Structure 1
């Protein structure tokens, strides 16, 4: 058998190769279907939301602590926070003014508690509620600001 006949036999009668090929439009359609199903699954399953509530509360607490730590004292001390942390007597004298000031700093939908070495002002925090917290170190002890949604 000649070489030409062998080639003709491998190709078949019409001269086409024995290997099968997909047309480009079939491949494109398959990729499109997979893409549409992936997008539909993404919308159907959804994406979990990030827990930004505690981060926002931490930011509120940090902002409140920063404002208080930079305010001048009403009577004695380096700052307003160092004044209320100085002694029990100073805390009792400044207690109401501190509570009013923190209430003015925060928005109406937030409750707070400011704890010093000599006492605390604000509301008691309910159990199981997300809370933001910031602590400022003074010469007379730590002052902690906690905030949560009302």
Structure 2
């Protein structure tokens, strides 16, 4: 009579141990972390666009971006300053590409990288800012 109960108890203990180990492994290994790079990159791009769109111009124009896109001559004059300014705005581990109607500055956008993008309409055209981790 007691012999029939012993194997059933062992089976219950074994199943309980497997269940506990499974739950413990679930907590230990967890689930994969959600992709957090894209939202952060979008924030970097939007912040950069906001700063440039509200920053006073170096020479003439309503804002820094309007000054840069006012003409091809203005873009050529401001190209290096724009590139240095964007590099100072972003963290060191973030690369960028700024495209204007008259040209672009920064590093060409690589394929298969997660990027963040912001576009800013100006009176002279749209400026597109794209950022990604180095």
Q: What residue is the counterpart of 1:67 in the other structure?
A: 51
Residue 114 of structure 1 pairs with residue 103 of structure 2: no
1:98 aligns with 2:82: yes
Q: TM-score, length-normalised on structure 1?
A: 0.72
Partner of 2:68: 84
Count of residue correspondences? 120
What displacement does 1:45 show?
Answer: 6.0
Asked if 1:53 is matched to 2:58, the reply is no
Root-mean-square deviation (CA), in Å?
2.0
Structure with bigger gyration radius? 1
Between stretches 61-70 and 42-51, larger displacement belongs to 42-51
Q: What SS class does the counterpart of residue 92 from structure 2 fall into?
A: coil
Secondary structure, in 3 states, of the residue corresponding to 2:34? coil
Q: CA deviation at 1:44?
A: 6.0
Quick check: 1:148 aligned with 2:121?
Answer: no
